[in-house]
């Protein structure tokens, strides 16, 4: 399992269009920012992904893109949440940390 302290995020940015920001903000519980950062592990292969907004039923909107994300295209996808948990024993109490990525993501979980 990964310790959150050694999970190095990719953080390549993508700029979302104003219409997508407004639609995603209106569809969920929080305001969506126009610049999103890839949340995958820094050495990940393939496309970049950034969390965008919650949806019902254990899923979320994610932004997918290739390259550096400036001036290129992107896609919005609803993906099921990763179901992996990391059990942490704090001595007097325990905690189950959930991965904040989606089910089947490349690389390690982010806990």
pLDDT at 64: 95
The number of domains in the chain is 1
The verdict on residue 31 lying in a domain is: yes
Q: How far apart are CA 57 and CA 70, in angstroms?
A: 32
Q: pLDDT below 70 — which residues of the chain?
A: 1-6, 69-71
**3-state SS assignment for residue 99:** coil
Which run of H or E residues covers position 18? Answer: helix 18-27
Q: Examine residue 21 and state whether it is found in any structural domain, yes or no.
A: yes
What 3-state DSSP class applies to 38?
Answer: coil
Mean confidence (pLDDT) of the chain: 86
Write down the pLDDT at residue 5: 57
SS3 breakdown of the chain: % helix, strand, coil, rounded to 5? 10, 40, 50
Domain assignment present for 109: no
Distance, C-alpha 84 to centroid of its chain: 14
- The answer as to whether 103 is a domain residue is no
pLDDT value at position 110? 80
The answer to whether residue 110 sits within a structural domain is no
Residue 105 domain-assigned? Answer: no
Question: Domain span at residue 35?
Answer: 4-98
C-alpha dihedral over 76, 77, 80, 84, to 10 degrees?
-60
Q: What pLDDT does residue 1 have?
A: 43
Is the CA virtual torsion 54, 39, 79, 69 positive or negative?
positive
């Amino acid at each position: 399992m990964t310790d959150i302290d050694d999970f190095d995020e990719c953080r390549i940015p993508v700029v979302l269009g104003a219409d997508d920001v407004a639609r995603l903000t209106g569809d969920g519980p929080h305001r969506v920012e126009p610049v999103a950062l890839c949340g995958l592990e820094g050495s990940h292969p393939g496309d970049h992904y950034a969390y965008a907004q919650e949806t019902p039923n254990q899923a979320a909107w994610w932004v997918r893109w290739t390259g550096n994300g400036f001036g290129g295209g992107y896609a919005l996808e609803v993906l099921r949440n990763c179901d992996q948990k990391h059990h942490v024993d704090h001595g007097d109490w325990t905690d189950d940390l959930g991965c904040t990525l989606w089910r089947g993501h490349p690389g390690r979980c982010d806990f």
